[in-house]
Chains A and B, each alone.
Chain A
Amino acid sequence: MIALPTPDPSVLARREAIVADLTRLVGAANVIAEPARLKPYETDGFTAYKRVPLAVCLPDSTEGVAAVLRYCTRNGIRVVPRAAGTSLSGGALPLEDAVVIGVARLNRILEVSVEDRLIRVEAGVTNIGVTRAVEGEGFFYAPDPSSQLACMIAGNIAMNSGGAHCLKYGVTANNLLGVTLVTPDGEIVELGGGHLDTPGYDWLGLICGSEGQLGIVTEATLRILRAAEGARAMLVGFRATDVAAAAVADIIGSGIIPVALEFMDKPCIRACEDFAHAGYPLEAEALLIIEVEGNEAEQDALLARLETICRRHDPLTVRIARTAEESAAIWKGRKGAFGAIGRISPDYLCMDGTIPPARLPEAMRRIEALSRQYGLMVANVFHAGDGNLHPLILFDANDNESFARAEALGADILRLCVELGGCLTGEHGVGIEKRDLMREQFSPADLAQQARVKRAFDPGWLLNPHKVFPPEFAQAA
């Protein structure tokens, strides 16, 4: 287990007065303090860790967020920003002596401009809510995390989230034009706007992926894109993981950048097939789902080229969708992958390390060896084109020893990703989960530099503390 701090007794002792102050600042309707209503906020998508917060504030305006943040900073009270709470790294995990500031009630669409290809939203709008607001015009919002029905733009920005289509369209940072940020001292600043590129410091680049360490985002301006004429998928089953990895390298090397290039290993294929009956080849050791875009003729041409490349790798099966329905059938298993694994084992840890794609065969071999060594099953499903792995470690949550082994195995997998030239997290963030592993990827000088930037925004180190930074770097100015 990762060490969490003992709460500050002086803050706990002031609880009633703090709740009264918060109520005065944003109104009773926007403050939650009863234990039963606080319970749902005790964790996020990383459910192994739970802490009931001091109170939850759900302001309905940027000014409300600013008032609460200023109050907390002045009074030395810790703050945990929260959006939908789907973080898989414990980024939104509360602390007992902290006030959670949530953006769930900041959920209005403020403006859609097709001519400027942008949308302005409050940060509590869901990811899918953005695409729904513009799809009538034939547009979409590109970053599409699998959690898109629930997760919110604020969380996407804080984690710099990606999705299945980011090989072609990029992650959140590449689709963000502006944010309204409330700094810890309660100042409201506008970063970026409706235009591209600002010649001062790249605040947007810094805020994106900063995991609630620097301020609270209350509004965002996002790029929207015109949807392609059409898309179609193919599925290829291979005899060995190495062979599938070689096919991935050949595809990218050929000059075709598919809009999606997803990889599944045998345990995952089996789980998905049992669950979704998508017709996946059970004898295959690895499977690729490849999607291309264009009009019908272009799709045909690209799929034919991809088929030629894959055939060079002696595939067991090649299935090319001819219609949208056949594409959907190919995607069906993949989209249900996490649910399918959940059926085999209700508890799993989802790792998120990235490796250079050329190291894929070695990574898969060594993850398998680690899985045997720890005696826990690992299923792999991931974005192959960019090397962002998602090994799912299956364990039994009722058994503390099994959880401890799962955590240790996960840490070894992430160390392996770093050793192979990759990183700890491709899209889920460091949060609490990978905080102590940061020393594996960064030198003390690297981490000290990041900590100084954090302190430039949050000198009191009150905003989302105990996350991202190993404890020895997490110090107030």
Chain B
Amino acid sequence: MALATPIAPENEGALARAIAEAYEAGVPLAIRGNGTKESLGRPVQAAAVLTTRALTGITLHSPSELVVAARAGTPVAEIEASLATKGQHLIAEPPDLSALTGPGEGPQTIGGVIACNLSGPRRIALGAMRDHVLGVRAVNGMGEVIRSGGRVLKNVTGLDLAKLVAGSRGTLAVMSEITLKVLPKPERTATVMLRGLDAARGIAALSAGLGSPFGVTGAAHLPAEAASRAGLGERTATLLRLEDFADFIPRRTQALAAALGEFGPAEILDEGPSLPLWRSVRDAVPLGVGDGEAVWRASLRPSRGAAFAEAVSRAFPARFLFDWGGGLVWVVGPATEPAHRSVTEAVRSAQGTFWLVRAPPALRAAVPGLPEEPAPLAALTRRVKHAFDPKGILNPGRIFAGV
């Protein structure tokens, strides 16, 4: 990592100028907000660091139009607090992964969360962070300001570069401002909890719940160790969340519990315990990650989640947390190449994908942090990268080595 003082433009014009200068000089830049997501990709070899942390402030919130806009360096917490004053929230409940990744240099920014397309438990019901991106303003690798999308809820005008830039981890363009769809915060939250199911049965229960008409907005399974860390005692916990108007919740929790009768008696957690519990699932805290450990985030069909976990367990002593109805499997294990190969292999046979989100820099530099793309797709990745950043100066090598 470069040691010089980071470049921290205070407005979009300055951001564009900084990148245009780097483009002229052919100087690679490491792109970051407050650096909380350093471990979510390959280490970047760059001559300078460009940070969006000085590009801050909410620029629009229109509650009756369900939109909020903020500059890329605005802390997520600030946006959430501001939305809450009007009874609204970020739909995909982006996680705060500092329990896995360390604290960074400041609070996580909205730009960082969008650039990594990170979503929490509600993703299973209401879409990912990228689904709620209505528009972005960004600067490409030539220092040009580009806009895609806008501030309206429905927009199919032109190629959807906003979605492409979201999730591209700073390798295509540096976002300066983002407009998001938001929703009213539900009045009440409750959890239907089943105990003692193994992963396969737990995921079957989550599937049954998500296939019910009661509006489940969170579906997670905690193995015994994770349940214990979440303060639920030493037994597996299968959790289904309902969020709705307060007067609907009692009937819905009862109906859901009854529909899941074959999985055993259900315990109902009301809002008090539910909110912190889902926050800790969101942030993957129950994984209890320690020194020298790596974390992978596997995404696969829910029905393959349990077999995937078994396959990984045969290779090394792993710990797990299942979210998204079993389709998101957090895996903790030793930060070694053999462990990484086992995860890669198990994901391949489950026909899913993975993301190495925590490991020491040496391992992140040595192994692909996500499945390697087949040749025709890898060629498209290179060509699209070139279309935004012809000299390869934005976060080179961050996602794929050499791109």
A residues whose Cβ falls under 8 Å from a Cβ of B: 113-118, 138-139, 159-160, 162, 166-167, 170-171, 173-174, 183, 187-189, 191, 193-203, 205-206, 208-210, 213, 226-229, 249-250, 252-253, 255-257, 294-295, 297-298, 301, 354-358, 383, 385-388, 421-430, 434, 438, 441-443, 445-447, 449-450, 452-457, 468
Contact = CB atoms under 8 A, between A and B. Distances in A.
Nearest to B387: A452
B159 A386 contact: no
B153 A196 contact: no
Contacts of A355: 152
Nearest to B399: A200
Given A115-B207, A383-B154, A183 B376 contact: yes
B24 interface: no
Interface string B45-64: 00000000000000000111
B327 A449 contact: no
B156 interface: yes
A201 B381 contact: yes
B248 A298 contact: yes
Nearest to B384: A456
A183 B184 CA distance: 41
Contact of A193 (B67, B124, B140, B351): B351
Given A196-B328, A456-B380, A356 B164 contact: no
**Secondary structure type dominating chain A contacts:** loop
Q: Among B148, B156, B172, B353, which residue has the most Cβ atoms of chain A within 10 A?
A: B156
B156 A160 contact: yes
Contacts of B342: none
A386 B62 CA distance: 13
A292 to B, nearest CB: 11
Given A138-B213, A198-B299, 18 more contacts: A115-B303, A195-B299, A195-B301, A196-B123, A196-B324, A197-B128, A206-B163, A213-B159, A249-B65, A253-B64, A298-B245, A386-B154, A422-B150, A426-B154, A430-B157, A443-B147, A445-B144, A453-B159
A194 B160 contact: no
B158 A354 contact: no
Q: Among B183, B212, B376, B399, which residue has the most Cβ atoms of chain A within 10 A?
A: B376
A282 to B, nearest CB: 29
A200 B381 contact: yes
B374 interface: yes
7 contacts: A170-B131, A189-B377, A193-B353, A195-B300, A199-B399, A421-B150, A447-B158
B273 interface: no
Interface of B: 62-67, 87, 117, 119, 123-124, 127-128, 130-131, 140, 144-148, 150-161, 163-164, 166-168, 172, 183-185, 187, 204, 207, 210-213, 245, 247-248, 251, 297, 299-303, 324-325, 327-328, 351-355, 369-370, 373-374, 376-377, 380-381, 383-384, 386-388, 399-400
Contacts of B155: 354, 422-423, 425-426
A388 B160 CA distance: 18
Given A255-B187, A453-B164, A174 B131 contact: yes
A173 B153 CA distance: 13
A423 B150 contact: yes
Nearest to B372: A200
Contact of B213 (A171, A198, A201, A228): A228
Given A198-B299, A199-B353, A423 B152 contact: yes
B161 A453 contact: yes
B186 to A, nearest CB: 8
Contacts of B386: 456
Nearest to B186: A255
Nearest to B357: A199
B167 A387 contact: no
Q: Among A115, A187, A441, which residue has the most Cβ atoms of chain B within 10 A?
A: A115
Contacts of A183: 376, 380
Nearest to B214: A229
Q: Which 5 residue pairs of A and B lie closest in terms of their CB atoms, listed nearest first? A: A205-B163, A426-B154, A456-B383, A187-B376, A255-B184
A205 B164 contact: yes
A421 B134 CA distance: 13
Given A195-B299, A226-B211, A457-B380, A430 B370 contact: no
A445 B154 contact: no
A426 B153 CA distance: 8
Contacts of B145: 443, 445
A425 B159 CA distance: 12
Contacts of B167: 199, 201-202, 205
